[in-house]
Structure 1
Amino acid sequence: MASFYIDREYCTFWDTSGYMAEKNLTLVTEFLLIAFTGCPAQAVPLFLLFLFIYLITLLGNVSMTVLISVDGRLHTPMYFLLRHLSFTDIWYSSVTVPQMLAVLWEHGAALPYARCAAQFFFFTFFGAIDCYLLALMAYDRYVAVCRPLLYVTIMTQKACWGLAAGAYVAGFCSALVRTVTAFSLSFCGDNEINFIFCDLPPLLKLTCGDSYPQEVVIIVFAIFVIPACVVVILVSYLFIIVAIMRIPSVGGRAKTFSTCASHLVAVALFFGSLIFMYLRDNTGQSSQEDRVVSVLYTAVIPMLNPLIYSLRNREVKEALRKIFNKAKLS
Structure 2
Amino acid sequence: MKKKFLNMNTRFFLRSGVKMNSFYYISSMLLALLLLIGVTSAQNNAEISGQLISDKGAIPNQKITLSKMLRENLLEIGSVNTDNNGFWKFTELDVGQNYLVNITYQGATYREVVYTVSGLNLINFNLTGAIKGKVKHKNGTDISGVLVTLKDNLDIDIDSIVFNTTTDKFGNYSFENININKGYVVEVIFQNTPYKESVMVLNNTTENLDFEVYDSTTESDDLEIVLDHIILTQDFNGLSVTEAVIWKNTGDKVFFDPKQQSFLGISTPIGIQNFQTPVMECCVQQKEGEVWINPMNPIMPDGMYQT
TM-score by structure 2 length?
A: 0.20
**Which entry has the higher C-alpha Rg, 1 or 2?**
2
Which has a greater percent of helix? 1
TM-score, reference length from structure 1:
0.19
Which structure has more strand as a fraction of its residues? Answer: 2
**Which structure has the higher relative contact order (CA within 8 Å, separation 6+)?**
1
